[in-house]
Structure 1
Amino acid sequence: DISVRQGVTMKEILVLLCLVSGSLGRHLYGWNVEDKCDAGKEQNRIAGQKARLEDLQNSLAGFKEDLQSRITKGKAYEEDLNKLRRRLSKLEPSGCDDATQLQCGGKKPLCLSRLLVCDGSVDCDSGLDEKDCDALTPSGSVWIGTFVYDKCTQRRPEKIRLSIENYKVIDYLRSFPEVTASLEFDPGMVDRDDTILSLTGHMDLMPGDHVLRFAPPESDGLAFICTFDGEHDDYCLGKIVREDETDVCAEFVLQRS
């Protein structure tokens, strides 16, 4: 059949033309069609590897971010658990005279003299006696107090300013540093009382329960105490009390400015 023979002949001619053009390109111009094809395949392979590498790097970055987030959450949960443990321990009897002794806790509970707290030598197996010795009210620090209620003071201030003049650790009594301060009433207010009281007292370095105590500065016998909760170093809960500390007649929140 002439048409079939012509069709076959055309296909053969096309194949021959491709072969001839490739051969001429190699000999006359240095072309190498196979090399170009191989080079294209190599580029595609490299591009694919780069894409996979980028995917792996992104996955690794995501894994690191997720891991860091989990670690942060774990530390937060651990801190919350420790806070809860401290609160529960305060509610339970320590088995010691808390006014003069510290319960070391741990596997070997021990009632340690409060005079040995923060003396620079670890006496509790748990190390509790030397863990909480930072100066929370250092010299030069200023604290602003806002009253919750006041049933007894002469001036009935809304706010007070406590300026720590000196925080001094005594070598022979390191668990009760001496503190001197000045107290102003309603600072910044037009009709405020200009009286500035001088306060003398000490910081009781009870681990987890630091208490700032000032003796009565006036003849009314009202003393000033402020208790830190062991978790926040920038504020304490204050009370105005009679000298025996049994009659609380005013409360305030004192925060470092």
Structure 2
Amino acid sequence: PLRPGTIGSILLRGGSHLPTMRSLLLLLVLAGAAVAQSPVGPLLGGLMQTRVYAHGQRLKNMEQAVEKLENRVDNAITRGRDVYVNNLNNLADRVNDIEGTGCGDKEFQCGDDLHHCIDKVLVCDGFSDCDNGHDEDAGVCTNPVPAGASFHGEMHFSHCATLPDFEMRLFVTGTKTYDYLSSVTNVRATLVSSGKAGDDVTFNARGAYGYGSRTLVLSDPDNRTPQFAGLELSCGFAAHDSKHANCKLVETFTRQECAQLRLTRD
């Protein structure tokens, strides 16, 4: 039999063989006090602190790993969505190239199913003339040939002259947009043609970029460069691609196409 007042008698109240929660807590307190007063108390306390710290670090590392995984998933979803949207936009551009936009040469297609068309001079003028406001969208009104931009490509002649293919580089040296005609940005550029024999030809060109047509037109108005006298470089940008342009070199008066060039932004 247990003597009254002992730990055993406290734990086995009323003859019960299962310790209560209060009894367990009391037992842990007494055991902790005993360990703390024993010679190995500091050692056990240090081990417990070390284990607690180690578990804390593991938990922190797991949280960081989960956060990185969430970021990777979010980035993958975003990239996938952007690629999907770009593919759809490129497909729409190709369909328009084949079927046409339903608008005239001097008109801008508003992008709706009704083929709503407005005059190109109304594009990016600060007022929404399309019912859906597409003529004032940031993507439409962003200049793909800002000052400082440079492009490169290879010129392929098909008519007008029997010249070998050569590399063409285009450097935009300045732009200016006037308030009274904000649908057009005036452009100054330097063009450098490099043949295989190393006979580079450099000339300064002037022209304009039209937001409604997404077309850059450059020429040497003073005909100071014989190789390009009477010629005009016309480069069209796709609606959703400002890094590439399909260009053609045409005779200014006859409009005969002489060469093709695909420019890529550096």
Instruction: Pick from 174, 178, 184 the counterpart of residue 186 of structure 2.
Output: 178
1:85 counterpart SS class: helix
Partner in structure 2 of residue 70 of structure 1: 77
Partner in structure 1 of residue 15 of structure 2: none
Partner in structure 1 of residue 86 of structure 2: 79
Larger Rg: 1
Instruction: Pick from 129, 137, 150 the counterpart of residue 145 of structure 2.
Output: 137
Instruction: Pick from 197, 214, 230 the counterpart of residue 218 of structure 2.
Output: 214
1:237 shift after superposition: 2.0
Q: Is the 8 A contact 1:216 1:243 kept in 2?
A: no
Matched, 1:230 2:212: no
1:165 shift after superposition: 3.6
1:179 counterpart SS class: strand
**Any stretches of 5+ residues in structure 2 without a counterpart?**
1-33
Counterpart amino acid of residue 214 in structure 1: L
**Any stretches of 5+ residues in structure 1 without a counterpart?**
1-25
1:79 counterpart SS class: helix
What number of residue pairs does the alignment pair up?
Answer: 223
1:158-177 maps to which residues of 2 (within 5 A)?
158-177=166-185
1:139 shift after superposition: 3.1
Partner in structure 1 of residue 95 of structure 2: 88
2:177 counterpart SS class: strand
Counterpart amino acid of residue 256 in structure 2: D
1:1-257 maps to which residues of 2 (within 5 A)?
30-31=37-38, 50=56, 53=59, 57=63, 58-59=65-66, 61-97=68-104, 99-106=105-112, 109-131=115-137, 132-153=140-161, 156=164, 158-186=166-194, 190-193=198-201, 196-206=202-212, 210-215=214-219, 217=221, 218=223, 221-243=230-252, 247-257=256-266
Counterpart amino acid of residue 185 in structure 2: P
1:108 shift after superposition: 6.2
**Residue 135 and residue 210 in structure 1: after superposition, are their counterparts in 2 closer, same or farther (change >3 A)?**
same
Task: Measure, in 2, the Cα distance between the counterparts of 1:125 and 1:159.
Answer: 43
Task: Measure, in 1, the Cα distance between the counterparts of 2:128 and 2:153.
Answer: 35
Counterpart amino acid of residue 238 in structure 2: D
Q: Is the 8 A contact 2:215 2:237 kept in 1?
A: yes
Task: Measure, in 2, the Cα distance between the counterparts of 1:75 and 1:178.
Answer: 32
Task: Measure, in 2, the Cα distance between the counterparts of 1:246 and 1:190.
Answer: 30
1:116 shift after superposition: 0.6
Identical-residue share of aligned pairs (%): 26
2:160 counterpart SS class: coil
Task: Measure, in 2, the Cα distance between the counterparts of 1:59 and 1:158.
Answer: 53
- CA deviation string 1:168-188 (max 9, x = no partner): 212222222222334333289
Q: Is the 8 A contact 1:150 1:156 kept in 2?
A: no
1:211 shift after superposition: 1.1
Task: Measure, in 2, the Cα distance between the counterparts of 1:205 and 1:171.
Answer: 14
1:126 counterpart SS class: coil
Partner in structure 1 of residue 17 of structure 2: none
**Residue 244 and residue 230 in structure 1: after superposition, are their counterparts in 2 closer, same or farther (change >3 A)?**
farther
Counterpart amino acid of residue 85 in structure 2: E
1:80 counterpart SS class: helix
Q: Is the 8 A contact 1:157 1:186 kept in 2?
A: no
2:89 counterpart SS class: helix
Q: What value does the CA root-mean-square deviation take over the aligned residues? A: 3.9
Partner in structure 1 of residue 16 of structure 2: none
1:64 shift after superposition: 4.5
